[in-house]
Structure 1
Amino acid sequence: MRLVVRTVSELCITVGTVIVLFVAYVLFWTGVKADTVMDDEIDRLQRQWAEGEIRPTRTAAAPGAPAAPAEPAAYENGRAFAIMYIPRLGFTWNKPVLEGTRTDTLKKGLGHYAGTAQLGQRGNFSVAGHRRTYGDPFKDFPRLRPGDAVVLTDGTTWFTYRIDKGPYKTVPTDIEVIDPLPRMSGYTRPGRYLTLTTCEPEWGHSHRLIVWAHLDSTQPVEAGKPAALRR
């Protein structure tokens, strides 16, 4: 009996140690790796832009009006094409946006829902991100409020969106949130919109949190950072 008790005790200690190590891996190491990968994606994009790559031609627009790519090229699945900034989440917060929402893609940054509008185009440019693990990109998502700026650049233009509604809680099957004209967004006519989605609760995935925004302004990168990114 003494041997059985000792064996069971040692087994429990071993299992407990494995669980602690696994939790440490999920909470810490995946975040370290993800931060490095996201930084590498941003560095790669900025090098390409500096070398004149990935610079779509844009049609002329009236002063202050949103500029749109002329016949924009399709995004390449799993590849970064833009950088997102959300000042509400910190002036050092920036994440790469990649095409697609597969698990391996979201480990590298935020993911653009394939089939939704392209950046700055008419329709609903929709993006997903992890709430927790893999860098916790949207950990503070509930802090977002109407009026907050969400700024993106594709290397040639700055796009400033303004949040109109959210965070709105729904279920994963509610795919209408990324429709060109989302039913619960409050929008009544087609426009240039942005949808951000993440998991709810913080360590679960039974629900989703959503924010909707409209394209407020654009400006060429040569003009410097937009007002929303200036301290």
Structure 2
Amino acid sequence: MTDVRADDEADEADVREAGYRRRDRRRAWTFWIGLALVLAGLSILGWIAWQLYGTNIVSQRRHEQTVESLEREWDKPKAEAKPQVQTDQGAAGAILRIPRFGDDFAVPVLEGIEDDALASGIGHFEDSAGPGEVGNYALAGHRITHGEPLRDMPDLQPGDEIVVETRDTVYTYVLDTGGDDLRVPFTDGWVVSARPENPDPDGVGPLPDRDRLITLTTCAELFHTDDRLIAFGHLQSAVDRE
């Protein structure tokens, strides 16, 4: 009888020990899973913080450096000054100034609308007209992250000036539409065509009797959206930079 009782107690001890081991393993797994979730959450928060703040710091520094490089180049004797400066993100050949956004607003215009160009300034649709030329000088810029040069696009009003400075000339455009008067899907290519014409006869578009146009495009909302805000304007004046 004593041996049977001892065996039962030993079996119970083994069962308890096995239960402790299972509980310890569950606790270990719970700890590591929890730690992984915390680290994943911190990584996501870090990525968001970088997108919202870090990219702005980097891009705004690039804006300033490229604008300064352009101004230094253009201040040389005209025979020596190049129309563009080459950056790691592409060629910059103009400076965009929008008085509505402040006297210190100055953003370089880079050729192309690839990610590198848009992360370093305003992008120029390469198939569109150049500054002051007949046709449509079409530009794109970020509204959030990467310097967010067009964050305040909805604040633009008809009559606002858009100034484009090049090596030789300062072009002043005047907006015909407000910054949030027209919202289109990103697939609507007519807005950056040489002579934009809204397929909706009652829709917003540039003035019909102007042949030297400017178009600004940016995201319709601060966060993800497939729509674009569009503002149209026309050339008002062109004066020698000197």
What TM bracket, shorter-length normalisation? 0.7 to 0.9
Whether contact under 8 Å (2:206, 2:233) holds in the other structure is no
Whether contact under 8 Å (2:160, 2:174) holds in the other structure is yes
CA RMSD of the aligned region, Å? 1.7
Q: How many Å separate the matches in 2 of 1:7 and 1:205?
A: 37
Matched, 1:45 2:70: yes
The CA deviation at 1:98 is 1.0
Q: TM-score of the superposition, structure 2-length normalised?
A: 0.79
The CA deviation at 1:190 is 5.0
Whether contact under 8 Å (1:129, 1:197) holds in the other structure is yes
Match of residue 129, structure 1, among 128, 141, 147: 141
- Residue 3 of structure 1 aligns with which residue? 28
Match of residue 224, structure 2, among 204, 211, 222: 204
Larger relative helix fraction: 2
Identity of aligned residues (%): 33
Q: Say which SS state the counterpart of residue 165 (structure 1) adopts.
A: coil
Higher relative contact order, structure no. (Cα contacts within 8 Å, ≥ 6 residues apart): 1
Q: How many Å separate the matches in 2 of 1:108 and 1:27?
A: 15
Superimposed CA distance per residue, residues 162-212 of structure 1 (whole angstroms, 9 cap, x where no aligned partner): 000133100011000011211131432451100000112111131000000
Q: How many Å separate the matches in 1 of 2:191 and 2:106?
A: 24
Gaps of 5+ in 2: 1-25, 199-204
- Residue 216 of structure 1 aligns with which residue? 236
Q: How many Å separate the matches in 2 of 1:186 and 1:108?
A: 28
Deviates more, 1:186-195 or 1:147-156: 186-195
Whether contact under 8 Å (1:181, 1:189) holds in the other structure is no
Q: 1:53-92 residue pairs with structure 2 within 5 A?
A: 53-54=81-82, 78-92=90-104
Matched, 1:171 2:185: yes
Q: How many Å separate the matches in 1 of 2:41 and 2:187?
A: 36
Q: How many Å separate the matches in 1 of 2:173 and 2:209?
A: 17
The CA deviation at 1:92 is 1.2
Gaps of 5+ in 1: 57-76, 223-231
Q: 1:140-155 residue pairs with structure 2 within 5 A?
A: 140-155=152-167
The CA deviation at 1:47 is 1.3
Matched, 1:33 2:58: yes
Task: State which structure, 1 or 2, has the greater radius of gyration over its C-alpha atoms.
Answer: 2
